[in-house]
């Protein structure tokens, strides 16, 4: 039996936030992993693909933008949510080229808003997977078709 729950990675150096965010995401609906540093987050990503990745902006070492840039460079894009309590400052510092793969979440936020954003990006990831599967099916069908357009 295949586990079809969206895989969610939450990266934040605030342990209390990690615990709260993970508790908001129902384990019946999501497969949640937490990481307390960008380095630990990169280790988690190296072990498997995540459909949604939530990362705090201000963390020691690598900031959330750089972390998410590194993640999207290593494989297929995930739904990426950048979380911050400094929203206006963040928007001034994030390059437009980086905004194409980022969603933003202003902290603090309600549990309902956090859940809504994660569900939104998980839904987008599901649509992308379905589109990719359909594209692959069509390509396989087309490559198996006899030459000259004849039907078998």
Q: What are the strands of the beta sheet with 52-56, ordered from one edge? A: 31-35, 7-11, 52-56, 79-84, 102-106
Q: pLDDT of 26-70, one tens digit each?
A: 889 999 999 999 999 999 999 988 999 999 888 888 888 888 888
SS (H, E, C) 68-80: HHHHHHCCCCCEE
Structural domain containing residue 25: 7-146
Label residue 10 by pLDDT band (50, 70, 90). very high
**Whole-structure pTM value:** 0.80
| CA atoms of 108 and 87, how far apart (whole Å) | 11
3 state SS of 101: coil
Residue 150 scores a pLDDT above 70 = no
Residue 68 lies in a domain: yes
Task: Please count the CA atoms within 13 angstroms of the CA of 141 that sit on its side-chain side.
Answer: 7
**CATH number of the domain residue 29 falls in:** 3.40.50.2300
Residue 149 scores a pLDDT above 70 = no
Label residue 85 by pLDDT band (50, 70, 90). confident
What is the total count of domains within the chain? 1
The stretch 17-25 carries a mean pLDDT of: 92
| CA atoms of 104 and 25, how far apart (whole Å) | 18
Residue 2 lies in a domain: no
Residue 71 lies in a domain: yes
Residue 109 lies in a domain: yes
CB 23 within 8 A of CB 116: no
For the chain, the average pLDDT equals: 83
């Amino acid at each position: 039996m295949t586990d079809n729950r969206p895989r969610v990675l939450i990266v934040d150096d605030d342990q209390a936030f990690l615990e709260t965010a993970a508790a908001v995401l129902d384990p019946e609906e999501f497969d949640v992993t937490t990481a307390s540093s960008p380095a630990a987050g990169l280790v988690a990503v190296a072990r498997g693909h995540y459909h949604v990745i939530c990362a705090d902006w201000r963390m020691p070492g690598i900031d959330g933008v750089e972390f998410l840039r590194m993640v999207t460079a290593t494989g297929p894009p995930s739904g990426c949510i950048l979380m911050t309590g400094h929203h206006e400052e963040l928007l001034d510092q994030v390059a437009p080229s980086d905004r194409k793969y980022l969603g933003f979440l202003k902290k603090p936020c309600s549990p309902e808003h956090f859940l809504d954003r994660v569900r939104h990006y998980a839904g987008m990831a599901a649509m992308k997977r379905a589109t990719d599967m359909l594209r692959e099916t069509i390509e396989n069908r087309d490559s198996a078709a006899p030459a000259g357009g004849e039907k078998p």
